[in-house]
Amino acid sequence: MNEKFVINIGRQLGSGGREIGEKLALQFSIAFYDKELIQLASKESGLGKEFFEEADEKKSHSFIGGLLGMRTNTSNEVYVNNYLSNETFFKIQSDVIRKLAAEKSCVFVGRCADYILRDHPRCINVFITADTKDRVKRVATDQQLTGEKAQDVIEKTDKNRAGYYNYFSNKVWGAAGSYHLCINSSVLGIDETVAFISRFVEQKLG
């Protein structure tokens, strides 16, 4: 495809969403962004990377309010308790995402990219889920945890991701109506899920 396009991926922890995103980027020969956005946002803003790492979506409840919807007292406030305020963090990251999407075709994982790029004319928004047993096995292996601990990490991470997404967007994390395609990677496996999404992207964008 000659015109620029974007694939935005939301994902449950342990669903293989990042791996699927990386393989889609390789297949289409386009850029891939996940945690790389933290470094880019830091560079763009001139602030230290540690500010963005602490305000990342996985810690949103602790530092930017998450499900509680706590906002800063003034719209111009940049820091809250030595961390980036929620609006400042989101605005800087959003500006970076929009800039990258305007420059090139990309795959973005998480970080409300589908909402941030809602006016982009060539976006595909995908949500990846998986069976619980597969998620627990993947997280336990990747993070060297027991099955019980992996389950706990999954529940907390998904709760944080949902809080971040629901807080900053007008949509619901993981709900079918929020995406063009929702797919369970356990059904086809990682590689066939990549192939399925690729066909979907090609057909939708022509």
Structure tokens belonging to residue 95? 């500006």
Name the amino acid, one letter, at 25.
A
Q: List the domain boundaries for the chain.
A: 6-205
Q: Once rounded to an integer, what is the mean pLDDT over residues 118-122?
A: 95
Instruction: Work out the pLDDT band at 67, boundaries 50, 70, 90.
Output: very low
Question: What pLDDT does residue 83 have?
Answer: 47
| Among 34, 55, 52, residue whose Cα is nearest residue 43 | 52
Quote the pLDDT of residue 35.
79
> E strand or H helix at 154, and its extent?
helix 147-168
| Residue 71 vs residue 110, higher pLDDT | 110
Distances (CA, A) of 88 to 94, 156, 165, 168: 10, 24, 16, 12
Q: Write the CATH number of the domain with boundaries 6-205.
A: 3.40.50.300
**Whole-number Å distance between alpha carbons of 12 and 128:** 6
d(CA 180, CA 21): 15
